Amino acid sequence: MQDMKIFDTHAHLGLIDEDPISQVIVAREAMVKNVVGIVNICNNLKDFRPLYDNLSIARNVYFSVGISPTEVTHTHSKWEDEIHMLAQLNKVIAIGETGLDRKYGNKDLQVEFFIRHLEIAEKIRYPIIIHNRDVGKEILEVLRETKPTIPIILHCYSEDWNYAQKILEIFPRAYFSFTGSVTYKTAKKLQEAAMHIPEENLLVESECPFMIPSLLKGKRNKPGYLHYTIEHIAALRESDKESIAEVLFNNACKVFGVTPSS
C-alpha cells in the first residue's frame, strides 16, 4: 500500500463540502491514502472558477471543464467560448463531463451540447469525459456519428461487457472508468465488464460524494476511499491490488498527459 499510487479520474470535491478549507483538506487527506491525482469535475461553468481558484493550490488536484447534461438549460450563449478560455488554465486536462441523461435535463439540448463538447475536445486535443444515465444506445449513436479521434472516457461505467465490446470495436482508445458501484453483490453485469475489459482500457474513479464502495455504505464518498474499489477490481480479475493499481494509475497518466508525484 505504501508504494501504491492512485489516480481518481472523476471527483466532485465541491459537492463533498461547500467550505473551501474542507475541500482542500479532503484533497490532502487523499494524499495520505496514496491518491496522488484527482480530476475535479464541475457540472456547470458558474461553479468552475471558484473551485479552481480554491483547489488549484492542492498539488494532487487537476480539473476538467464542461457542462453536465443535467445543466444544459442553466448556462449562457457564450459557453463554448468560456470553455475554450478555461481549458487554457494550468492543470485543466480534460473536457467534460458531457453526455446524455435520461432522468434530468432537456434531451434535445443534451445532444447538441454533447456534440459541441466533442468538437471542442477534438479541436484542442483533450480527452473527453462522458456521462451516461440509461442512454447507452443514444451515446453510441452520437459517437458513431461524430467519430472522435481523441480519447473518450466513459465515466461511472454502468453498462455490461457486451456494450464495452461495441465501443471498443469502433474506439479502441476508449476508457471505462469504474466506481464503488462495482463492489456491490448485485452488480453482476458490471463486474463481468470489469473482469473482461482489456487492462489498457481501465480507469477508476470515486465519483465522490456518490458511489460509495459497499463496505462503507451509508457514508459520503471521498477520493481516499478509492482503494476499496481497486481491491475489488483486483479480486475480480484475479490479480493483486498493487498490480492493478499500477495499471490504473499508468492508464490515467497516459489519457490525461500528466504524471502526478507522491
3-state helix, strand, coil in the chain (%, to 5): 50, 15, 35
State how far the Cα of 227 lies from the Cα of 4, in Å rounded to an integer. Answer: 10
Handedness of CA 250, 153, 33, 240 (dihedral sign): negative
Q: pLDDT averaged over the chain?
A: 96
CATH of 6-256, one of 3.40.50.300, 3.10.580.10, 3.20.20.140, 3.10.450.50: 3.20.20.140
17 pLDDT more than 90 = yes
CA of 13: how far to CAs of 21, 33, 138, 155, in Å?
11, 16, 29, 16
The model's pTM: 0.97
pLDDT-derived band at 1, boundaries 50, 70, 90 = low
End-to-end CA distance of the chain: 13
Q: What ranges make up the beta strands (E) of 18-72? A: 35-41, 61-65
Mean pLDDT of 62-91: 97
